[in-house]
Amino acid sequence: MPRRIMVVDDSRLVRVQLEDVLKGTEYEIAAYCRSGEDAIAQYGDVRPDLVTMDIIMQGMDGLDAAEAILKDHPEARIVMVSSLAYEDTIDRAKAIGAKGFVDKPFHQEQLLRVFAQALA
């Protein structure tokens, strides 16, 4: 059974890059969301095994969206995928309960390693 991923990112380019990197792996993209609000609305219906969450998006940012999803679904496994890889941002992501952090631009090996850790 493939692991189902929900991709949350406001960039179409990043959504396409994630699709490319996950092609042929054990992961399949079950849903795309372009905003934190959309992710919160869809999470309960999609019930993914893992969420990749951008941080800088129009409207709600990815940290607030992750926090809101985890409040309603404490079992959610969320990996932040962002260029905002500063110590305070990574610390806040951990404090919220995110399972990992992947810097943009990402590479397949790094992404798959963090996914495996998040799902372990």
Tell me whether residue 29 or residue 119 sits nearer to Mg ion (CB atom): 29
7-26 footprint of Mg ion as x/- string (CB under 5 A): ---x----------------
Is 61 a binding residue for Mg ion by CB under 5 A? The answer is no
Is 38 a binding residue for Mg ion by CB under 5 A? The answer is no
What are 50's strand-pairing partners? 5
Is 37 a binding residue for Mg ion by CB under 5 A? The answer is no
Is 49 a binding residue for Mg ion by CB under 5 A? The answer is no
* Cα–Cα distance for residue pair 107/58, rounded to 1 Å: 25
The closest alpha carbon to 79, from 104, 57, 54, 61, belongs to 54
**CB of residue 2 vs Mg ion: minimum separation in angstroms?**
26
Is 54 a binding residue for Mg ion by CB under 5 A? The answer is yes
Take residue 49 and report the two structure tokens written for it.
């095994």
Question: Which three-class secondary structure state does DSSP give residue 103?
Answer: strand
Is 56 a binding residue for Mg ion by CB under 5 A? The answer is yes
Cβ-proximal residues to 37 (8 Å cutoff; 6+ apart), any chain: 59, 60, 65
**CB of residue 104 vs Mg ion: minimum separation in angstroms?**
9
Residues counted in the chain: 120
Q: Which residues bind Mg ion (CB under 5 A)?
A: 10, 54, 56-57
